[in-house]
Amino acid sequence: MKLVNCICSLLMGLGLILSLTACSPELPVKDSKTSLQWFQQGAQSVADRKIQLDSAYANTQKAKNIIFVLGDGMGVSTLTAARIFSGQQHGMLGEEYALSFEQFPYSALVKTYNVDLQTPDSAGTMTALMTGVKTNEGIISLPHTVDRGSCLAAQNQKRLPTLIDLAKAKGKSTAMVTTARVTHATPATTYAHSSDRNWESDDALSEPAKNNGCPDIASQWVDGPRSSLDILLGGGRRHFLPKQQGGKRLDQRNLIADWKRKGHYVATLTELNELAGQHVSEHSDSDKGVNEVPWLGLFASSHMAYSHERPAEQPGLQQMTAAALKRLQTNKNGYALVIESGRIDHAHHEGIAFKALSETQELHETVAWLLTQVDLNETLIVVTADHSHTLTLGGYTTRGNPILGNVVANDRYGRPKDKTSVDNHGKPYTSLSYRDGPGAISMRADGLDEDGHHEDVHAIDYQQIALVPMDYETHGGEDVALYAIGPQSQLLSGTLEQHWVFHALKFALK
Ligand SMILES: [Zn+2]
């Protein structure tokens, strides 16, 4: 360390008022806040926090409504990167930006392991969140004592009641909206019980499962006694249609046709908005909403499109949420709404950070919009993730550097260097990278494209550098963050086991 820096550190350590410019005369003004403003901002945050906590603790009421928002695979590094990504789109340096839910008064760390897996999968984690019981990888709302893939009649007695069942028993309306297939692991936990998450339609059932009459997940939604779920919106038509009609089913059944005898069905944004509008005009001054027939919306054959390339007739996360909320808010007993941004996870599996960050941004904007629509005196909102991913963020990147860009570091005076940093092989590198996946160093063409140019790190399909070569990037095993606001949100702080979250929600629900 240079002597001048040592002296500066020493003086600052002693608490002496010292402007940074005295240490490095040509420090560029990137962030124009003065030291005094940083100090006052911190002090103000404590004052605000005290007011927030006083009012939150004073609120001993229970929650009439619960909104549970899940970013599938939205780990802490994803949140940090998405915060910078969004901030930079607002013309800011980025790091100082705050996602909508980061301003909630309570937050917690959540331990995500499955009963049988250190780094968990979505079926086991969402079962923990929705039923209050930790279970094994691949299991949908059944306990870990059920062997994966086994299909015994006894399983019927082992079905775990869900948050949705609880809400329904209290006379509330309920909904699940997702950008993934509705039969995918996360949404499936809210209405189905299956010893294998892959049994989305009958083509995937094992022989013993077929022989024992084990129902696939799509058929559970259509054939079973009416689900506690009033609204199910997302992708996944292919699991409801026979192979001859472009679907996956081998049993020749068209489950969408069967469904239309039980409830409403919509397949486009226009149809969804018409259905929601019609419902409101029929039920605006009554509480009949709870008795109305259920809705199924399937807007894509498989998962819905990523938000940056979504066709006009596919609703986005906010549009599905808005349509569901219109119906839910007509029930004077309240509602439980589960929202999943399902494709943050898929983008990470592809090793493509841009897509994961733009999906996280959509979740952030959906929550920002929700905050304008609900009364927080009676509505508990929880935002969390089921598990993390291996995205990491580092490289001594200078303040405000484009989050997807190559690293530019600072020189010894704290000024950004005039060229990108290079590694030991003389190659530039991005601040975002993955532990494993398809972007692995050994699987790519040496940082150069076919024409010998450097890769375009800002391209929407750019795969960040990874270490361990794999076809798909894996989940991360570290804790995820949880954010809470509204009645009883104070129950959600500290370091929590994932299944505890359900019990806090159960206690909070009026
Ligand atoms: Zn995943």
**Span 273-283, pLDDT tens digits:** 999 998 877 76
CA of 114 to the centre of ligand 1 (A): 14
Task: Give the pLDDT band (50/70/90) at residue 128.
Answer: very high
User: Does residue 441 carry a pLDDT above 90?
Assistant: no
pLDDT over 90 percentage in the chain? 77
CA of 230 to the centre of ligand 1 (A): 26
CA of 256 to the centre of ligand 1 (A): 27
Q: How far apart are the C-alpha atoms of 266 and 295, rounded to whole Å?
A: 8
Six-digit token string for 58: 């004073």
CA of 58 to the centre of ligand 1 (A): 39
For residue 25, the tally of other CB atoms under 10 A from its CB is 7
Residue 115 lies in a domain: yes
Six-digit token string for 351: 């090793």
CA of 341 to the centre of ligand 1 (A): 12
Six-digit token string for 68: 């549970």
CA of 119 to the centre of ligand 1 (A): 11
Query: Torsion angle, CA of 79/82/84/89, rounded to 10 degrees?
Result: -160
For residue range 8-21, list pLDDT tens digits in order.
344 344 443 333 33
CA of 347 to the centre of ligand 1 (A): 9
For residue range 168-212, list pLDDT tens digits in order.
999 999 999 999 999 999 999 999 999 999 999 999 999 989 888
CA of 242 to the centre of ligand 1 (A): 27
Q: Which has the closest alpha carbon to 463: 398, 391, 399?
A: 391
CA of 310 to the centre of ligand 1 (A): 21
Contact 175, 370 (CB under 8 A): no
CA distances from 500 to 136, 331, 493 (A): 16, 28, 11
Contact 489, 58 (CB under 8 A): no
Residue 43 lies in a domain: no
What is the number of domains present in the chain?
1
For residue 431, give the DSSP letter.
Answer: S
Overall average pLDDT of the 400-424 stretch: 95
Task: Give the pLDDT band (50/70/90) at residue 5.
Answer: very low
For residue range 201-228, list pLDDT tens digits in order.
999 999 989 888 889 999 999 998 889 9
CA of 246 to the centre of ligand 1 (A): 25
Q: How far apart are the C-alpha atoms of 196 and 191, rounded to whole Å?
A: 14
User: Does residue 446 carry a pLDDT above 80?
Assistant: no
Residue 123 lies in a domain: yes
Pairing of the two strands 335-341 and 173-181 = parallel
Task: Give the pLDDT band (50/70/90) at residue 59.
Answer: low
CA of 185 to the centre of ligand 1 (A): 10
Q: How far apart are the C-alpha atoms of 83 and 95, rounded to whole Å?
A: 7
Overall average pLDDT of the 70-75 stretch: 98
CA of 169 to the centre of ligand 1 (A): 32
Residue 418 lies in a domain: no
Residue 442 lies in a domain: no
CATH number at residue 212: 3.40.720.10
CA of 73 to the centre of ligand 1 (A): 6
Q: Which has the closest alpha carbon to 63: 293, 437, 364, 378?
A: 378
User: Does residue 101 carry a pLDDT above 70?
Assistant: yes
* Apex 455 CA angle, 430 and 453, nearest 5: 135
Q: How far apart are the C-alpha atoms of 363 and 380, rounded to whole Å?
A: 17
What DSSP string describes 120-183? --HHHHHHHHHHS----TT-BSS-TTSPTT---TTHHHHPPP-HHHHHHHTT-EEEEEEEEETT
Residue 47 lies in a domain: no
User: Does residue 448 carry a pLDDT above 70?
Assistant: no
Residue count (the chain)? 510
CA of 68 to the centre of ligand 1 (A): 19
Six-digit token string for 276: 């929601």
Q: Note down the domain range covering 243.
A: 65-392+480-508
Q: Which has the closest alpha carbon to 216: 233, 238, 244?
A: 238
Residue 501 CB partners (closer than 8 Å, separation 6+): 110, 128, 129, 382, 384, 482, 492
Contact 428, 421 (CB under 8 A): yes
Of 127-136, 186-195, 272-281, 464-473, minimum mean pLDDT range? 272-281
* Apex 447 CA angle, 80 and 343, nearest 5: 40
Residue 444 lies in a domain: no
The pLDDT score that the predictor gives to residue 447 is: 54
Q: Which residues are designated catalytic?
A: 122
Residue 110 lies in a domain: yes
Q: Which has the closest alpha carbon to 464: 65, 81, 80, 61?
A: 81
pLDDT over 70 percentage in the chain? 89
User: Does residue 378 carry a pLDDT above 60?
Assistant: yes
Q: How far apart are the C-alpha atoms of 49 and 38, rounded to whole Å?
A: 17
CA of 38 to the centre of ligand 1 (A): 39
Measured between its terminal Cα atoms, the distance across the chain in Å is 60
CA of 376 to the centre of ligand 1 (A): 32
CA of 470 to the centre of ligand 1 (A): 14
What ranges in 224-352 are assigned the alpha helix state H?
255-259, 269-283, 317-328, 343-349
